[in-house]
Chains A and B, each alone.
Chain A
Amino acid sequence: MSSLENAEDRAPVLSVRGVSKRFGVVQALDDVSLEVRHGEVLALVGENGAGKSTLVRIIEGVHQPDQGMLEAGGAPRAFRSPADAHALGIRVIHQEPDIIPDLSIAENLFLGDFRRVRGLFLDRRDLARRTRAMLAAFGLQDELSPWTRAGALGPAYRQLMEIMRALRSGVRLLALDEPTSSLTEDETRRLFDVVEQLRRDGVAIVYISHRMHEVMAIADRVAVLRDGRLVATRMTHEVGEAEIVQLMVGRPITELFDPSARSLGPVLLSVSGVTTRRVHDISFHVRAGEVVGLAGLVGAGRSELAEAIFGHDRAIAGSVAVAGKAVRLRSPADAIAAGIGFAPEDRKSQALLLLRSVKDNITLCVPDLISRFDFISGEDERSVAGALVERLRVRTPSLDQLVSKLSGGNQQKVVLGRWLARRPKVLILDEPTRGIDVGAKAEIYRLIAELAAEGMALLVISSEMPELLGLCDRLLVMTGGRIVADLARAEASEERILDLAMGNNLLRGERTMVA
């Protein structure tokens, strides 16, 4: 890393000056100033909701700052759209790159820049030649043919394609948003090689990740965001991982949660040998009053497991019992009838009826509480929904407000309200705090603790390790569609879970079977 020493001297490619951005009640960014220089890798870290994505979207021209400004090439710039940012060589590679699956790699790469033969026909030979040159630059010429269908590529190749596309049009600043979240270790290494090469070519790189070891390995500088503020910028070689984590969280994590020991009741959810197309031989149980966490990397099969238990995905083998009674799961309706609730990962596409009101969304699963002979009683409906809005402190102007107009945190509370109305014995929460502000997060943590205290059995899926460690009595670690460890809270640590989740455990026999 020879470029490290003179990184300070290099001119900034982009300066962010005093940028603030507000979304409704959430202050996403608060007076952030930052410089990105030629030939450096700047890591942007922070918890979910700390403002990383907002900052990137401002740099990319998707959002415009409320206050503050951007400077590029020594002049102030206002990006009204991504096209403005692209014109200055600023490119963002998103977690899920936009590709057109039915077109070939070559066509995807050079879309909008096709050359023609005799003014009419696509010059396939030229397209293939240019694509091969580009693949060769990344050392991929032997692995990929220009005419491979893009839809057949895995996430790693798609990402590389997206980077190639950015390079084609001359990139000066490249931002990578959680680029490794769905990559294997080998693929990650290859991506790092590419990043290293770009850095040597003088490209400024913004690297967003919450994987500390990656950040330490690749970044020259680290910028830490917390609750929308830039709390520190450090040279990577001057800090340790622990210090960065401390900066990100800003407070000892344990304070967020109610540490009081809960008393456990009988087994409410018992899963034995459940196998679907995507999860294999899953067995575990959750007791009344217990919060069990499902840890693992993206793609480890956690959501898929939840869907199987909820009857959304059909199990090939195995059985699920609620409060000792075996449940036949043909559809979510069966699971709900048996006393299971499920708040899925993606609120907007899986949980909420965006065209309907807060009230309609909350009462969706409790028709018997609000109607007689199918006729809805306006009074009952309002009292059921109103009580939950109050209990969950949903910030909404009225019960008739369209749920799509609420903030993320309040939307999540509406989803939880739907299940609280139903009073299930078992509640599965998939990423319950994703993309919501810190205040609402704390409220949801408190609610989870409350529900457990009331004797509900909770299964929580989260990609935020501190959250799992703080909330859960027990942690199941998944990798490759299997449960590889069952850890009590005392045995669990971030490093240990990560280690297990990466699949480093298999030879050590860490797997503890649960009856």
Chain B
Amino acid sequence: MTDAPADAVAKSAGTAPQSRPVLVRAIQALGTHNFSLLIALAILIAIFGALRPDVFFLPRNISNIGQAIAILGVLATAQTIVIVSGGLDISVGSILGMSTVCIALAVETTGSTTLAILFGIAVSAVMGLVNGLIITLGRVNAVIATLGTMAAFRGVAFIISNGQSISIFDPALRFIGDGKILGIPVTIEVLMLVIAVFFVLMRYTVTGRNIYAIGGNPLVARLAGLPIRTYQIGIYALSGAAAGLAGMLLAARTGSGQPLSGSQGAELEAITAAVLGGCALTGGKGTILGGLLGVLIIGVLNNGMILTSVPTFYQMVAKGVLLIAAVVIAEHQARRFG
């Protein structure tokens, strides 16, 4: 392990960066992990493209994939930030469900789309804040804390909706769900905006860098004077708000607020995407771009399995296996490359 410095010195002395081939430089810019994800994605596309050449590449289907991953994408990129900070948020599915209900109720009572959306996201952010407070002030393990609130928030969603689905009759929300601006579905545009914000946050700001520091080694971060708890509380609130936004997208898509929405493994898919994307569950490692690639892989896989008529139950098995496989591969890589 301590042989590394000599190795590195030798490398830098040997080849100047300019002399490397274009492909190598491209891989380096992207990161080797993201590059392997791209290859995996290409393979998946090739497989499903070959199995259903009649449907898979139709614009309609591509758009379907895009619509489907918009919600997962928002959840997964926020989850990436949570995992990088050394935490985990498994309550996002419940917050999402809660958000759809809140938005549906708020549209009904206020009649204002903007107010309803803001209300849904604000309530979700507060739920995230509750997670953050339980984890930091209560010193509860993040998995346990959010496992508890996952059940509790779901319960609240049922209580305030009386267990009923609430229909939304609102043209503006319908436009968000079905409409297009410049030929691109609005949901995908929302996803791209979220990704752009998160990408800049994690890559180009002091806040982002501090999140990596806190997740990488909380003791080092504390001894460097970073307010760890404040960051953690903020991150869970952000995760909640993102789940609220995802709930808004879902409510817009389905035209209803449903207390059950997001209960079908939304958190599982979000965590899987983040881990596939290179997040270490020990924290400090992972990128928004990687998370997005993880989302694309899951999106294509889901879509492909539907197109090739894989029964739903088998799809669930496949997703569970995928999460575990992603962790196993990440663990293996960490051990090999330190």
Residues of A that sit less than 8 Å from B by CB: 22-26, 310, 312, 331-333, 335-337, 342, 344, 349-356, 360, 364-365, 367, 370-371, 374-376, 395-398, 401, 404-407, 410, 418
Q: Is the CB of B223 within 8 A of A25?
A: no
> Which one of B209, B210, B225 has the greatest number of beta carbons of chain A within 10 Å?
B225
Q: Knowing A312-B223, A350-B219 are in contact, say whether A376-B205 is a contact too (CB < 8 A).
A: yes
B residues in contact with A342, CB < 8 Å: 223
B residues in contact with A395, CB < 8 Å: 5, 9
Complex: A109 Cα to B298 Cα, angstroms: 50
Complex: A24 Cα to B6 Cα, angstroms: 4
| Interchain CB contact (< 8 A) of B220 among A23, A26, A350 | A350
New contact pairs (4) apart from A333-B225, A351-B223, A353-B216, CB-CB < 8 Å:
A332-B222, A364-B224, A374-B207, A375-B205
Complex: A26 Cα to B209 Cα, angstroms: 32
Q: Knowing A24-B5, A375-B204, A407-B2 are in contact, say whether A352-B220 is a contact too (CB < 8 A).
A: yes
| Interchain CB contact (< 8 A) of A312 among B3, B209, B222, B284 | B222
B residues in contact with A26, CB < 8 Å: 2
20 chain-A/chain-B pairs, Cβ below 8 angstroms: A24-B5, A24-B7, A25-B5, A25-B6, A312-B222, A333-B225, A336-B225, A337-B225, A349-B217, A349-B220, A350-B223, A351-B220, A353-B212, A353-B217, A356-B213, A364-B224, A375-B204, A397-B8, A397-B12, A418-B224
Complex: A356 Cα to B213 Cα, angstroms: 8
| CB closest chain-A residue, reference B222 | A332
In the complex, per-residue mask of B1-45: 1 if CB is within 8 Å of any chain A CB, else 0: 011111111011000000000000000000000000000000000
B residues in contact with A360, CB < 8 Å: 209, 212-213
Complex: A349 Cα to B220 Cα, angstroms: 7
Q: Is the CB of A371 within 8 A of B206?
A: yes
B residues in contact with A331, CB < 8 Å: 222, 225, 227
B residues in contact with A404, CB < 8 Å: 4, 338
Q: How far is the CB of B125 from chain A (nearest CB, A)?
A: 20
B285 at interface, CB cutoff 8 A:
yes
Q: 7 closest A-B pairs (Cβ-Cβ)? A: A397-B12, A24-B5, A23-B2, A336-B225, A333-B225, A367-B206, A24-B6
Q: Is the CB of A310 within 8 A of B223?
A: yes
Complex: A176 Cα to B11 Cα, angstroms: 39
Complex: A365 Cα to B225 Cα, angstroms: 7
Q: Knowing A25-B5, A353-B284, A395-B9 are in contact, say whether A332-B209 is a contact too (CB < 8 A).
A: no
| Interchain CB contact (< 8 A) of B226 among A22, A333, A406 | A333
Complex: A312 Cα to B219 Cα, angstroms: 10
A residues in contact with B338, CB < 8 Å: 404
Complex: A331 Cα to B2 Cα, angstroms: 34
Q: Is the CB of B217 within 8 A of A344?
A: no
Q: Is the CB of A376 within 8 A of B204?
A: yes
Q: Is the CB of B225 within 8 A of A397?
A: no
Q: How far is the CB of B19 from chain A (nearest CB, A)?
A: 15
Query: What number of A-B contacts does a CB cutoff of 8 Å give?
Result: 100
Which B247-294 residues have a C-beta within 8 angstroms of A?
284-285
| CB closest chain-A residue, reference B226 | A333
A residues in contact with B219, CB < 8 Å: 349-350
| Interchain CB contact (< 8 A) of B227 among A310, A333, A354 | A333
Measured as residues with beta carbon below 8 angstroms from the partner, the interface class of chain B is 20 to 34
Complex: A22 Cα to B3 Cα, angstroms: 8
Q: Is the CB of B224 within 8 A of A332?
A: yes
> Which one of B2, B204, B285 has the greatest number of beta carbons of chain A within 10 Å?
B2
Complex: A365 Cα to B3 Cα, angstroms: 29
Complex: A382 Cα to B216 Cα, angstroms: 22
Q: Is the CB of A410 within 8 A of B5?
A: yes
Q: Knowing A354-B217, A375-B204 are in contact, say whether A344-B209 is a contact too (CB < 8 A).
A: no
A residues in contact with B6, CB < 8 Å: 22, 24-25
B residues in contact with A352, CB < 8 Å: 217, 220
Q: Is the CB of A374 within 8 A of B220?
A: no
Complex: A396 Cα to B13 Cα, angstroms: 11
Q: Is the CB of A398 within 8 A of B12?
A: yes
Q: Knowing A332-B224, A351-B223 are in contact, say whether A374-B216 is a contact too (CB < 8 A).
A: no
Q: Knowing A24-B6, A376-B204 are in contact, say whether A356-B216 is a contact too (CB < 8 A).
A: yes
In the complex, per-residue mask of B222-256: 1 if CB is within 8 Å of any chain A CB, else 0: 11111100000000000000000000000000000
B residues in contact with A407, CB < 8 Å: 2, 5
B residues in contact with A353, CB < 8 Å: 212-213, 216-217, 220-221, 284
Q: How far is the CB of B169 from chain A (nearest CB, A)?
A: 41
A residues in contact with B11, CB < 8 Å: 397
B residues in contact with A364, CB < 8 Å: 213, 224
Q: Is the CB of A405 within 8 A of B224?
A: no
Complex: A374 Cα to B2 Cα, angstroms: 36
B residues in contact with A405, CB < 8 Å: 4-5, 7-8
| CB closest chain-A residue, reference B212 | A356
| CB closest chain-B residue, reference A335 | B225
Complex: A350 Cα to B224 Cα, angstroms: 9
B residues in contact with A356, CB < 8 Å: 212-213, 216
Q: Knowing A332-B222, A350-B219, A364-B224 are in contact, say whether A406-B213 is a contact too (CB < 8 A).
A: no
| CB closest chain-A residue, reference B13 | A397
Complex: A27 Cα to B226 Cα, angstroms: 38
Q: How far is the CB of B22 from chain A (nearest CB, A)?
A: 20
Q: Is the CB of B220 within 8 A of A371?
A: no
Q: How far is the CB of B60 from chain A (nearest CB, A)?
A: 40
B residues in contact with A349, CB < 8 Å: 217, 219-220
A residues in contact with B216, CB < 8 Å: 353-356
Q: How far is the CB of B237 from chain A (nearest CB, A)?
A: 17
Complex: A498 Cα to B207 Cα, angstroms: 47
A residues in contact with B12, CB < 8 Å: 397-398
Complex: A405 Cα to B224 Cα, angstroms: 21
Q: How far is the CB of A301 from chain B (nearest CB, A)?
A: 18
Q: How far is the CB of A309 from chain B (nearest CB, A)?
A: 13
Q: How far is the CB of A94 from chain B (nearest CB, A)?
A: 18
Complex: A77 Cα to B129 Cα, angstroms: 61
Q: Knowing A337-B225, A364-B224 are in contact, say whether A355-B4 is a contact too (CB < 8 A).
A: no
Q: Is the CB of A406 within 8 A of B5?
A: yes
Q: Knowing A23-B2, A405-B4 are in contact, say whether A376-B223 is a contact too (CB < 8 A).
A: no
Q: How far is the CB of B295 from chain A (nearest CB, A)?
A: 23
Q: Knowing A23-B2, A364-B213, A398-B12 are in contact, say whether A374-B205 is a contact too (CB < 8 A).
A: yes
Q: Is the CB of A374 within 8 A of B223?
A: no
B residues in contact with A396, CB < 8 Å: 8
Q: Is the CB of A374 within 8 A of B206?
A: yes
Q: How far is the CB of B115 from chain A (nearest CB, A)?
A: 29
Q: How far is the CB of A322 from chain B (nearest CB, A)?
A: 14
A residues in contact with B9, CB < 8 Å: 24-25, 395, 397
| Interchain CB contact (< 8 A) of A24 among B4, B212, B213, B225 | B4
Q: Is the CB of B205 within 8 A of A371?
A: yes
| CB closest chain-A residue, reference B219 | A350
Complex: A365 Cα to B11 Cα, angstroms: 30
